[in-house]
């Protein structure tokens, strides 16, 4: 589903149309539908994750330290009160690598040097492990 929306958007962006005003009405209508379709696909992805017991999701991006197995929830897709022991999804509905579900094993609190904009004791990063690997 999400891949279809992204493929349509990519194909249209490769065309010569610079704005919806410069394209035929049927192309403008297709362009207008893409964000709605992507929002629906994202909502379905979140619903699926929640049905599997996932408490939060974050893109598998630069805020994920894959060597230390930690993540800072800077751009959480959703967060229903993530706690130690909960499941966390790393990925996004459009991520071609898929979504990885991990279990939170601990937290790292903010310190004045690490995160001066955060309150002392506030969670800075979540530690995790892959529940499939034990």
Q: What angle do CA 117, 76, 63 make, to 5 degrees?
A: 65
- pLDDT tens-digit series, residues 16-31: 555 666 778 888 778 7
Provide long-range contacts, Cβ within 8 A and 24+ apart, for 91-94.
Answer: 91/57, 91/59, 91/60, 92/45, 92/57, 92/59, 92/60, 93/1, 93/2, 93/38, 93/41, 93/42, 93/44, 93/45, 94/2, 94/3, 94/6, 94/38
Q: Which domain holds residue 84?
A: 54-134
Residues 104 and 72 in one domain: yes
Bridge pairing between strands 87-90 and 54-58: parallel
Listed as ranges, residues in the chain with pLDDT below 70 are 1-21, 110-122, 132-134
Residues 69 and 18 in one domain: no
Question: What is the total count of domains within the chain?
Answer: 2
Residues 95 and 115 in one domain: yes
Q: Please report the pLDDT score of residue 134 as a whole number.
A: 43
Q: What is the pTM of this model?
A: 0.71
Q: Cβ(107)–Cβ(90) under 8 Å?
A: no
Domain end (from 17, 36, 51):
51
């Amino acid at each position: 589903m999400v891949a279809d929306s992204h493929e349509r958007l990519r194909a249209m962006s490769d065309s010569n149309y610079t704005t919806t005003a410069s394209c035929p009405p049927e192309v403008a209508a297709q362009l207008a539908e893409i964000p709605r379709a992507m929002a629906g696909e994202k909502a379905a992805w979140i619903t699926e994750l929640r049905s599997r017991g996932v408490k939060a999701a974050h893109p598998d991006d630069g805020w994920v330290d894959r060597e230390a197995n930690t993540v800072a929830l800077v751009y959480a897709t959703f967060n229903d009160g993530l706690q130690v022991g909960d499941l966390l999804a790393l990925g996004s509905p459009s991520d071609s690598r898929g979504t990885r579900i991990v279990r939170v094993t601990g937290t790292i609190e903010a310190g004045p040097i690490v995160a001066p904009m955060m309150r002392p004791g506030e969670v800075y990063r979540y530690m995790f492990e892959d529940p499939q690997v034990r």
